[in-house]
Each structure stands twice: as structure tokens, then as C-alpha cells.
Amino acid sequence: MRETIALMRRVFEDLGSGKAQNQARRRLVLPGGSALHCLAGAFGAYFGTKVYSSNPRTGAHFLFLLYNAEGGLPLALFEANYLGQIRTGAASGFATDLLASPDARTLAVIGSGFQARSQIEATLAVRQFRSVRIWSRNPEKRGRFAAECSEAFGVRIETPPTAEETVRGADVIVTATNSKDPVLEDGWIGPGAHINAIGSNHPKRRELPPALIERAGLIAVDSIEQSRLEAGDLIGALGEADWRPPKLVELAELAAGKRVYQRGDAPTLFKSNGLGVEDVAAAGLVYDSAEKSEMARLPVLYS
């Protein structure tokens, strides 16, 4: 995770300087509820695209295609469920390192699903939390999830009975849900807190209340273009004049030093949508590692 967080820093620096490219997600939605999602990017020696299907009954199924940037040759096909999980966590880890107080000591997580695990891992990699709290609607599920993460990451995790008790007083807050309606209230968020909202990438879903969006001192997004298409948290709360600095900036601008934020009492927010260029970088890292391992000596099948 630490290596991937450092990689995401380079990705956003290169996006800010124009060395990397990203293509916003596009969706093909069928009448029966199935959908096809595509996003792409270029970073360093590689370019590629992630393609995944989703259905309310069967979930999502991810594939990633990696190509050599110099000659356009196909290099690898990945099953990309975990690839997406770790790069999403790493992007939040990088944003937390940029925007959260260096003295942050309490982490609160709303959600106990697939993406929440890497969010905990990533934020633990950049801050020394003394307290970690988790809340989700199912008490049994959140208890199991807390026990698994506690053992995996060597940290004590509490499971308060309400979302409010989980969030109040937290320095860093993560929302990792598929909720259509806000999962926390503005009044629960204390001065100087940082929020990573990663669960909603649909224009009609939102995890955060408009009042919190309005109060935020800075909103960082991975892509303004993509946010305008699918960041329901922002689409429903921002006026046209708000889709620009100083209220809203791209993470790439902060990474490249084009924008500087002076931390104050107002909360900060990272609204994550997930970028194709993040997948390219993560897949390239895996591919480079595989080439150096025994996997490089396995036979290659061509069709």
C-alpha cells in the first residue's frame, strides 16, 4: 500500500504537469439494469483501459487491459477487482496525506464493504491513528469486518452503535457506501476534519449532505470532468460558480504545486470517483513486479 500511495503521488504530479493522460468513465446502461463501464489513461511506459460490467443482482466484474505506450503492443489482461480496490485506497491515502492534519489521531469509517478495507489500510499508512471506529448498518457484518481489519493491520478498532458516535470528534472520516442518501450530518463534523468520500460515483447517489459541501474550505477531486458526470455529492450541492478554484480543485493541481491550501477550521474534502490513469499505474506496477519474478519465466500463450 505504501508503494502504491507513492505511485499515486507521481500519477497526480504527472497529470498536473501534462505528462499523464486520463479519459473519463463512460457507461452503457441496458434496460434490464446491466451496465458496461469503460475508463482509460496513460502513465509512464504504459497505457490501457478498464472495462467492467455491473448488475444489481450479480455485482461488478472488472477487467483491465495493459499496453506498451511506445509500440502499442498488448502486454497483459488482469482480473481487476483487487487492483481497483488498492488503487482507490491509495488515492485516498495520498489525499489524506496532503489535506489531513499531521496530528490526526482518530479515524472514522462509514461502511464495511469491499472498498472500506483498503481505505483503512491506506489512511493508516499516512497517519498514526490512536483510535479507529467503524459503523455500518449490519451489526454482525461490521463486527466481523472490524475484527478482520484489527488483526490484519495491528490496530484496535471500535464499533460504536450509531454513525453519529462513530464520526463525532474524528479527525479523518471515510464514507465507503453505496447509499443514495447522506450517511452523516454536517453537525457531526468537527473543525479541521478531513473527509474522503469514495462510495458514490453516480449522479443520483450521495453520501454527504449539501451543508457539509457548502461548509468545506476545500474540495479536492480526482477529475473535474468526471465529477461533473458522476459525483452526485457535488452535482446536487454546487452552483455553476463553485466548479472552480478556490472552492474546488483537482488533486493534480495540489500535487503539482499549482494550488496551495492553508489549513484552517473548515473541513476539507476529497471526492473520489476513480480514474483510469490510476488503474494504468497500478497495473504497470504489478506488471513490472511480475517481470522480475518467476512469473516472467512462465510460458506465454498467443492467440
pLDDT in 10s for each residue of the chain, 303 residues: 999 999 999 999 999 999 999 999 999 999 999 999 999 999 999 999 999 999 999 999 999 999 999 999 999 999 999 999 999 999 999 999 999 999 999 999 999 998 999 999 999 999 999 999 999 999 999 999 999 999 999 999 999 999 999 999 999 999 999 999 999 999 999 999 999 999 978 888 999 999 999 999 999 999 999 999 999 999 989 999 889 888 899 999 999 999 888 888 999 999 999 999 999 999 999 999 998 886 656 666 544
pLDDT score at 302: 47
What CATH topology corresponds to 84-275? Answer: Rossmann fold (3.40.50)
What CATH topology corresponds to 2-83+277-297? Answer: ornithine cyclodeaminase, domain 1 (3.30.1780)
For residue 201, the SS3 value is: coil
| Residues 123, 129: Cα–Cα separation, whole Å | 9
Give DSSP secondary structure letters for 97-110.
Answer: HHHS-TT--EEEEE
Q: Which amino acid is at 197?
A: A
Put residue 59 in one of left, alpha, beta given phi > 0 → left and psi -120 to 50 → alpha.
left
Torsion sign, CA atoms 163, 156, 272, 202:
negative
DSSP assignment letter at 225: H
Q: Is 154 exposed, middle or buried (0-12, 13-18, 19+ CB in 10 A)?
A: exposed
Query: Is the pTM for the entire model greater than 0.85?
Result: yes
Summarize pLDDT for 238-247 with one digit per residue, the tens. 999 889 888 8
- Check: CB of residue 189 under 8 Å from CB of residue 167: yes
Domain map (residue ranges) of the chain: 2-83+277-297, 84-275
- Check: CB of residue 112 under 8 Å from CB of residue 145: yes
